[in-house]
Amino acid sequence: METIKVKASRPYSVTVGSEQLKTIGERARSLFPKAVRVMLVSDDTVFPLYGETVSRSLIAEGFETEPFVFPHGEKSKNSKTYLDLISAIARAGLSRSDFCVALGGGVVGDLTGFAAATYMRGIGFIQVPTTLLAMVDASVGGKTAVDLPEGKNLLGAFWQPSEVICDIDTLKTLPDPVYAAGCAEIVKYGCMMDKELFETLEQQDLKSVEEKVISRSVSDKRDIVEQDERETGSTRILLNFGHTVGHAVEKVSNYQISHGSAVSIGMCVMVRAQSECGMIDKRTVKRIESLLASFALPTETGFSARDLSDAILSDKKKTGKTVNFVALREIGEAYVMPIPIGEIESFIEKGLKTCKSN
């Protein structure tokens, strides 16, 4: 078991290890000694697997535990589900000393976190991520949000969790494509800030170093968050490597393409476009594509540059006459590259080309 300390506006710990679910009640009691009620939020895929275990742990510590279970998937991360959850919390009578538990993947965590941030101007919540992607990315850093028809994560708040508990035993029940989605975010850390992690993934089977790699990824994100918690500087935006195009892929696909697969495509489009512009060598592009492909992640898309460009321009990352993309100098070193709005489509067009070795 490993514990990573996050020194954010609300300091908290991230625990990574096996057999963690049974300890949630005890740990919640130490975090919320005056709490009476807890809203256990999950989706209809995760709750049947782990809801009873977590509920028993909470009830054993004297918490009145109320479940809120919603249909799984990105389409549920909307304003209606959010308001339904807020109403359920109010009906259950939670006070400011009470808290929520987010049991599930990134959608559950984002939704629960935003509800906790806004109910009674803010109550505590514990993240219990059950997917690889949520463990290494969504559960850490305090970004909470729901989607609007106009774009992804447009309605949200920064609200740090009270604790993050990653039980890696839950990864055993993940379908292969869902596990692979988390691998995309791990590769992202390697690409944009951690060359040693990238090389580890190239040389070793992830399952053999799973706990170590998850902890390393969490530590990488922790380091960025501590420098730029609210993304007011130029540091935290580096975590968006692959995400500007990736979010566009998600939106154009009507969220039929998963976040991890979309980010994988986004990273490849970005480095191929850079290669076409002479900013990065083709060998680096091939290494990134090969590593992503080794996790059965997509590296190309059939969507047009025009469709992706239009989706990007509706997203929140537009700043005046430019959009901030995150580019690579080399594996392990990223930087912010503003692109004028009028040049985005042609840049993406370059990234849609297959990178051929010289």
pLDDT tens string 296-320: 999 999 999 999 999 999 865 566 7
Binned at pLDDT 50, 70 and 90, residue 278 comes out as very high
CB 219 within 8 A of CB 236: no
Q: How do residues 67-90 score in pLDDT, each as one tens digit?
A: 999 999 989 999 999 999 999 999
Angle at 260 between CA 73 and CA 330, to 5 degrees: 160
Scanning the chain, the segments in alpha helix (DSSP H) are 24-31, 52-60, 79-91, 106-118, 132-133, 176-192, 195-203, 210-227, 243-252, 259-276, 282-294, 305-313, 344-351
Q: State the pLDDT at residue 357.
A: 44
Q: At what angle do helices 243-252 and 259-276 cross, to 10 degrees?
A: 120
Residues 130-170 pLDDT 10s = 999 999 999 999 999 999 988 889 999 999 999 999 999 99
How far is 224 from 232, CA to CA, in rounded Å?
12
The residues, ordered by sequence, that sit 6+ positions from 125 with a Cβ below 8 Å of its Cβ are 99, 100, 101, 102, 112, 113, 116, 159, 161, 162
Rounded to whole angstroms, the Cα distance separating 289 from 286 reads 5
CA gap 24, 260 in Å, rounded: 28
The separation between the first and the last C-alpha atoms of the chain, rounded to the nearest angstrom, is 46
121 among known catalytic residues: yes
Reading the block at residue 113, the tokens are: 């976190």
Name the active-site residue from 27, 152, 216, 243. Answer: 243
Catalytic residue at 77?
Answer: no
Mean pLDDT of the chain: 95
The predicted pLDDT at position 353 comes to 82
Q: Say whether 72 is catalytic.
A: no
The one-character DSSP state at 160 is: -
231 is catalytic: yes
Tokens (6 digits) for 302? 């059939």
Catalytic, out of 27, 77, 152, 221: 221
- Report how far residue 72's alpha carbon sits from residue 197's, in angstroms, rounded to the nearest whole number: 31
Give the pLDDT of residue 318: 63
Indicate if 78 belongs to the active site: no
DSSP conformation class of 137: I
The tokens describing 133, both together, are 């992607």
pLDDT in tens, 115-124: 999 999 999 9
What pLDDT is recorded for position 232? 87
Q: Is the pTM of this model over 0.85?
A: yes
Question: Can you give the pLDDT at residue 358?
Answer: 37
Q: Please tell me what DSSP assigns to residue 171.
A: G
Give dist(CA 255, CA 285) in Å, integer: 26
Residue 355 pLDDT level (bands cut at 50, 70, 90): low
The catalytically annotated residue of 231, 300, 345, 349 is 231
Q: State whether residue 235 is helix, strand or coil.
A: coil
Per-residue pLDDT, 348:
97
Question: One of 240, 250, 276, 289 is an active-site residue; which one?
Answer: 240
Structural domains of the chain, with CATH: 2-173 (3.40.50.1970), 177-351 (1.20.1090.10)
Tell me the C-alpha distance between 25 and 4, whole Å: 20
Tell me the pLDDT tens digit for each residue of 222-270: 999 999 999 888 899 999 999 999 999 999 998 899 999 999 999 999 9
Q: Which of 77, 222, 259, 272 is catalytic?
A: 259
Instruction: Reply yes or no on whether 143 is catalytic.
Output: yes
